[in-house]
Amino acid sequence: MTRADILTVRALAPGDEEGFLTLRSAITDEGAVFAKDYQTGVSWPEYLAVQNDARVGIGLAPGTVPYTFLVAETGGVLVGSSDIRHHLTEKMTRWGGHIGYVVAPRFRRLGYGTEILRQTLLLAAELGISPALLTCRADNFGSRGVIHACGGTVSTETVDGICSYWL
């Protein structure tokens, strides 16, 4: 049994604020975007309401599609996240796709990314998304490895190095 075997991908809960902020800090400290809809100063119940509304398409910014934001937890610690975009815009067919995922730096290379994507693909299928489009940069070997481990093969690669996968 690996650490990833006891990982759960789930929606945010009322008791997740501290873990979420720790995870957000770890990911944004390396320059990545994380939980772009989170605003400093918003109360945790308000943020959970934003997430609930986003799942059903209420109050979304123009050009934003309904989405489900999920966190990955093991042993009471949030180690990563994923999000499912319920349908795609033309722009998302080139970059973004249906599913995005991230693992906090200190938890990488432990199998969490693969398990996050595996569980997220199952949840996407429950939403009627199958196959799901994923994209990543050709030089993102970690992400490519995760996608390949979940059965993905490159369907297209653009001249500027964006790989598309249907899983």
pTM for the predicted model, two decimal places: 0.93
* CB contact at 8 A, 107 and 139: no
Residue-range domains of the chain with CATH: 3-130 (3.40.630.30)
pLDDT of 34 reads 85
pLDDT of 36 reads 81
Look at residue 109 and give its three-state secondary structure: coil
Higher model confidence: residue 37 or residue 69? 69
pLDDT, average across residues 92-102: 94
* 162-166 and 154-157 strand pairing: antiparallel
Percentage of the chain surpassing pLDDT 90?
A: 87
Higher model confidence: residue 35 or residue 115? 115
Interval 126-139: pLDDT, tens: 999 999 999 999 99
